[in-house]
Amino acid sequence: MLYDNAKITVQAGRGGDGCISFRREAHVPKGGPDGGDGGRGADVVLICSDSLRDLQGFRRRGQFKADSGGHGQGNQRHGASGETLEIGVPPGTIITTEDGTRYDLTTAGQRAVVAQGGSGGRGNRHFATSTRQAPRFGERGLAGDEGLVTLQLKLLADVGLVGLPNAGKSSLLARLTRAQPKVANYPFTTLEPVLGTLELDDRQLVIADIPGLIEGASEGAGLGHDFLAHIERTRLLVHVLDLAPLDGSDPLENYRVIEAELESHDPRLAALPRILVLSKADLVSPEEANQGAAAWRQRLAANVEEVPEWETQEEMVPVVVTSSATGQAMEDLARELVHRVPVVTTSGEVLVGPGANQALPEHQTFRPGSDRGFKVNANDDGGWTVSGEGVERLVARYDLENEEALAHLEGRLRRIGVVRALESAGFKPGDDVEIGGVLFELDPGGPI
């Protein structure tokens, strides 16, 4: 069974604490502070691995925790940073974090940092000044990011085979490639996507056999709705249509059902290039097959509103009559697939196929910058709340039971404008102030 969805919980490592230490050696007067810094916590990284094909491994393990950084030590010895936790995912995985950030890993070796390790705290040697020559405080390490990460696998295939159950997709894939899908004469023989590789003219195309679609598939009916997402990456769709269905259904109506489901799932799929394959030609006479193909070519040509410069109206949706049992037109279909799927260079230039020599639009990724501001809000009980990522991280750095550390923190808050903002909002000495869940009193008139 193909597992194409998973949710995992990740937790990056915590940063190590800075050390409070003083140099004490014989014949070294006034050695001074020499506390080392804490190491950085380990990141959690998802890495694209070509050895994986689905997300089955995450069914057995759903929680991942990276190592914390080591604490600093005396004699200016720094703590070791945690070793990055790398988690392999198959090519084609889309990663979504809790804040909505998305990563699309398609090539082996691509990496996505889904949880950053906390930074280590500084040792007391960093806080020595001319007026504070023996600081007895250091910084604490910060906690690493943690949260829920959603994984969704979309197969990387050049060509997608779509159609009703028993349309002949699996047999067609077996003829074109070396894939060995299960073939039988009952609905939903294909229970999960099957991939095969077509090799022709020094090129390789990956073809995906998508489980048969039925009416209402895009809304959850049948099996195919679970796998519609797998054809979103394809660059060409092959609609496999039974020439003469044994159940007596109308081929035209069958065609409309599949096209409507593709349009309902994602309008972009309706705009993908198509090839219409009329399958099971061995079950009808050659005259019937030729008449059916002519009728479909005329019907499809009449539906074309705009014809690109690189092809004629008759070539917009090629119609190929095939038989997987006898091998009829298989080579013609293979060459049509190779012609229709373009070769794209890393620079975005299309070398062969439809749209040759047309540059693809440049892909850019924009991510919001980190929020370093803060907000001051009055509470109903007369106290105040200061919120903001930067100021909350600052408070988490220090041991507020340590008077020297508390005095240093108040100076930092004053320099970044927190005390000034509180006073502008009506703060008075003695009022309680809450920052990052910590309640304490600030002295506006204290030293900087």
**Residue 327 DSSP label:** T
What is d(CA 211, CA 216) in angstroms, rounded to the nearest whole number? 14
Please answer whether residues 206 and 178 qualify as being in contact, where contact means their C-beta atoms are separated by less than 8 angstroms: no
Query: Is 60 part of a structural domain of the chain?
Result: yes
pLDDT of 51 reads 80
* Structure token pair of residue 287: 């005259």
Alpha helices in 271-388 (DSSP H): 286-302, 330-340
Chosen domain end from 104, 136, 153: 153
Cα end-to-end distance, the chain, whole Å: 65
Kindly report the backbone phi and psi dihedral angles of residue 144, in degrees, each rounded to the nearest multiple of 5, phi listed first. -80, 165
- Per residue in 58-75, is it b (16+ CB within 10 Å) or e — as a string? beeeeebbbbbbbbbbbe
Q: In 3-state terms, what secondary structure has residue 80?
A: coil
Query: Is 369 part of a structural domain of the chain?
Result: no
What is d(CA 267, CA 385) in angstroms, rounded to the nearest whole number? 48
What is d(CA 302, CA 290) in angstroms, rounded to the nearest whole number? 19
Judgement on whether residues 183 and 230 belong to the same structural domain of the protein:
yes
Please answer whether residues 45 and 111 qualify as being in contact, where contact means their C-beta atoms are separated by less than 8 angstroms: yes
Centroid of chain to Cα 33: 46
Query: Is 102 part of a structural domain of the chain?
Result: yes
What is d(CA 105, CA 276) in angstroms, rounded to the nearest whole number? 31
pLDDT of 68 reads 96
What is d(CA 22, CA 150) in angstroms, rounded to the nearest whole number? 47
Query: Is 77 part of a structural domain of the chain?
Result: yes
Count of beta carbons in the 10 Å neighbourhood of residue 125: 23
Judgement on whether residues 343 and 381 belong to the same structural domain of the protein:
no
Helix axes 418-425, 403-415, angle to 10 degrees: 70
Judgement on whether residues 205 and 70 belong to the same structural domain of the protein:
no
Count of beta carbons in the 10 Å neighbourhood of residue 30: 8
Range of the domain at 417: 375-441
Judgement on whether residues 167 and 316 belong to the same structural domain of the protein:
yes
Q: Which residues pair with 376 in a beta bridge?
A: 386
Per-residue pLDDT in tens (0 to 9) along the chain, 448 residues: 567 789 999 999 999 999 999 987 777 666 789 999 999 999 999 999 878 877 888 988 899 999 999 999 998 999 999 999 999 998 889 999 998 899 988 888 889 999 999 999 999 999 998 888 889 999 999 999 999 999 988 877 888 888 888 888 888 888 888 766 555 455 545 556 777 888 887 777 888 888 766 554 444 444 445 567 777 778 889 999 998 887 778 888 888 888 888 888 777 777 888 899 999 999 889 999 999 899 998 888 776 544 344 344 445 689 999 998 899 999 999 999 988 887 654 344 444 444 444 443 444 433 444 556 888 888 888 888 998 888 999 999 998 888 899 888 888 888 888 888 888 888 888 788 888 888 877 766 655 4
Q: In 3-state terms, what secondary structure has residue 255?
A: helix
Judgement on whether residues 144 and 164 belong to the same structural domain of the protein:
no
Q: In 3-state terms, what secondary structure has residue 401?
A: coil
399: domain CATH number is 3.30.300.350
Query: Is 412 part of a structural domain of the chain?
Result: yes
Judgement on whether residues 202 and 136 belong to the same structural domain of the protein:
no
In total, how many domains does the chain have?
A: 3
Judgement on whether residues 134 and 197 belong to the same structural domain of the protein:
no
Chosen domain end from 118, 134, 153: 153
* Structure token pair of residue 198: 């077509």
What is d(CA 8, CA 272) in angstroms, rounded to the nearest whole number? 33
Q: Which residues are CB-contacts of 401 (< 8 A; sequence separation ≥ 6)?
A: none
Strand 93-96 to 146-153 pairing: antiparallel
* Closest CA relative to residue 258, chosen from 291, 289, 228: 228
DSSP assignments along 353-375, one per residue: STTTTPBPPPP----PPP----E
Judgement on whether residues 140 and 265 belong to the same structural domain of the protein:
no
Query: Is 448 part of a structural domain of the chain?
Result: no
206: domain CATH number is 3.40.50.300
Q: In what order do the strands lie in the sheet with 63-65?
A: 63-65, 5-11, 146-153, 93-96, 102-105
The upper half-sphere exposure of residue 59, i.e. CA atoms within 13 Å in the direction of its Cβ, equals 8
Please answer whether residues 314 and 297 qualify as being in contact, where contact means their C-beta atoms are separated by less than 8 angstroms: yes
Judgement on whether residues 170 and 293 belong to the same structural domain of the protein:
yes
Judgement on whether residues 52 and 147 belong to the same structural domain of the protein:
yes
Q: Which residues pair with 199 in a beta bridge?
A: 204
pLDDT of 216 reads 47
pLDDT of 6 reads 92
Judgement on whether residues 199 and 322 belong to the same structural domain of the protein:
yes
* Structure token pair of residue 185: 């004469």
Count of beta carbons in the 10 Å neighbourhood of residue 182: 10
Query: Is 357 part of a structural domain of the chain?
Result: no
Kindly report the backbone phi and psi dihedral angles of residue 263, in degrees, each rounded to the nearest multiple of 5, phi listed first. -65, -40
125: domain CATH number is 2.70.210.12
pLDDT of 144 reads 94
pLDDT of 345 reads 46
Chosen domain end from 153, 172, 196: 153
Query: Is 366 part of a structural domain of the chain?
Result: no
Judgement on whether residues 136 and 118 belong to the same structural domain of the protein:
yes
* Length of the chain measured in residues: 448
Please answer whether residues 300 and 319 qualify as being in contact, where contact means their C-beta atoms are separated by less than 8 angstroms: yes
pLDDT of 141 reads 94
